[in-house]
Amino acid sequence: MKLAAALFALTLPCALAQDFTQRGYLETRWIGYPETAPGDSGQDVGEARLVYEATYKVSPHLRFAGSLDLRTDTHRQAERVWRLDWQDRSIQEPAFSVRRLSAAYTHSGWTVEMGKQFLRWGKTDLLTPTDRFAPSDFLRVVDNDFLAVTAARVTYERGANTWDAVYVPRFTPSRAPLLNQRWVVLPENLPPDLALVEGGARLPGGPQLGVRWNHVGRQVEGALCFYEGFNHLPVLDAELTSLVPLRVEITRRYAKLRMYGGDGAVPLPWFTVKAETGYFTSSDPLADDYVQYVVQLERNVGEWFFVGGYGGETIITKRTPLDFAPDRGLARAFLGRAGYTIDANRSVAVETAVRQNGNGLWLKAEYSQAFGQHWRATASFAVIRGDLADFLGQYRRNSHGMLVLRYSF
């Protein structure tokens, strides 16, 4: 009996280990800005981040997934408060957070996933109008990172068709640049004694809902979707709170949003054409009604890959006086990405966004090299140019170089 117990004790961890997987990385970044910016004289930013992810398959049908995020930086974009954050609703990045924690049950084509999870919709890469359940961390605007949402997701897959229904009881906003940092661009003619004060965020209370039908045909892939909820990007309310001293409080507010969208992909002899569009409407008196669309071509040839296209927008009703909307900021622009794999360890890539009227340009070049099984170093430089009135151009003092060293495990 003792022998059996001992054998059981020895074999149990092995059995468990077969269904347990983990991975993660430790990453340090240095970002150098050649120019100072109004309100932020800092030109060097250091960041460190540890991400740990684990999945455990309890049975063939039930699986748990979790992820933890630990971060700090030199520029106080990450909180200095030591607390475990679950909601991802803070204005700063939490120092220690649950990035993901969900349980998924699968049976007969059905998958039900509950908890904090990453949820992506859409097919295009350059801009994804229908990706409504994917708020992001936009503290650095151009180097963003997706945030998970707390949701219940039911997916049914049968043959070539997949139906997806999502219910999000609690809103997760995108993280917008901090007022005292260089990625908030202030008008140049502001009175020198004006103090802009962070007024926090007014988060909506209702749920978000979405349904999507995706069909994978022999040659064509397409999806239709509907979303009812809130925009995860804020409308900014500016309120004069004091004349002497002159103070204006900036508050983030999240407008109601309804979207009817679709996406598709068609492989042609030379390129794959992907397109995605969304019609956005809102009952909010300060939110726009608009249509956004993207058409992109992509191709892999040998060691090269190319993705290029156009992001467009048509405003039906203009109501928003001031907002932070990088998704719309990249519309009305030609977008592209190209990469070359030098060998098994090295690659180079170039990304660009060029405003159709020439008023804004973003160009990023990157070289990446792996060392052994765990280390990777990446060096990049991003050039941003344009007019102050342009979404891209307003960041023209934020051209930067970046060095990233990552240890993956």
Partner 1 sequence: MNKIAWLLQVVALLGAGLAAAQDPRQIMEEVQERAQAKSQRYEGTLQVIDRNGRTTEKRWEYDRLGSAGRSKAVLRFTAPAEVKGVALLVVNHPDRSSDQWMWTPALARDRRIALQDRSTRFFGTDFSFEDLEERDVDQFEFKLLGEEAIDGAACWRIESRPKQSKTSQYTRSVVWVRQDHYVFARLESYIADQVVRRLNYSQIENAQGIWSARRLEMTDLRRQSRTILRLEKLTYNLPLDEEAFTLQALRRLS
Binding site for partner 1 (CB under 8 A): 21, 23, 25, 55, 60, 63, 65, 104, 106-109, 111, 118-120, 146, 155, 157, 162, 216, 221, 265, 267, 269-272, 298-303, 305, 341, 343-345, 370, 373-374, 376, 406, 408-409
Q: Kindly tell me which of 188 and 343 has the beta carbon lying closer to partner 1.
A: 343
For residue 142, how far is the Cα from the chain centroid? 10
Smallest separation, CB 36 to partner 1 (Å): 33
Smallest separation, CB 267 to partner 1 (Å): 4
SS3 215: strand
Locate 236 and state its tokens.
């900014």
Smallest separation, CB 106 to partner 1 (Å): 6
Q: Report how far residue 171's alpha carbon sits from residue 257's, in angstroms, rounded to the nearest whole number.
A: 13
Smallest separation, CB 408 to partner 1 (Å): 4
Q: Kindly tell me which of 178 and 307 has the beta carbon lying closer to partner 1.
A: 307
3-state secondary structure 266-299: EECCCCEEEEEEEEEECCCCCCCEEEEEEEEEEE
- 139 DSSP 8-state letter: T
Smallest separation, CB 118 to partner 1 (Å): 4
With CA atoms as reference, report the closest residue to 236 among 252, 260, 220, 219.
252
- Strand order across the beta sheet in which 195-202 lies: 195-202, 247-253, 235-242
Amino acid identity, position 358: G
For residue 141, how far is the Cα from the chain centroid? 10
Smallest separation, CB 75 to partner 1 (Å): 24
Q: Kindly tell me which of 185 and 307 has the beta carbon lying closer to partner 1.
A: 307
Q: Kindly tell me which of 82 and 270 has the beta carbon lying closer to partner 1.
A: 270
Per-state percent for the chain, helix, strand, coil, to nearest 5: 5, 55, 35
For residue 293, how far is the Cα from the chain centroid? 18
The answer to whether 46 touches 30, Cβ cutoff 8 Å, is yes
Q: Kindly tell me which of 25 and 96 has the beta carbon lying closer to partner 1.
A: 25
Q: Kindly tell me which of 124 and 231 has the beta carbon lying closer to partner 1.
A: 124
Smallest separation, CB 350 to partner 1 (Å): 18
Q: Report how far residue 280's alpha carbon sits from residue 314's, in angstroms, rounded to the nearest whole number.
A: 10
Q: Kindly tell me which of 241 and 300 has the beta carbon lying closer to partner 1.
A: 300
Q: Kindly tell me which of 70 and 370 has the beta carbon lying closer to partner 1.
A: 370
User: CB count, 10 Å around CB of 321?
Assistant: 10
Smallest separation, CB 24 to partner 1 (Å): 8
Q: Report how far residue 152's alpha carbon sits from residue 280's, in angstroms, rounded to the nearest whole number.
A: 23
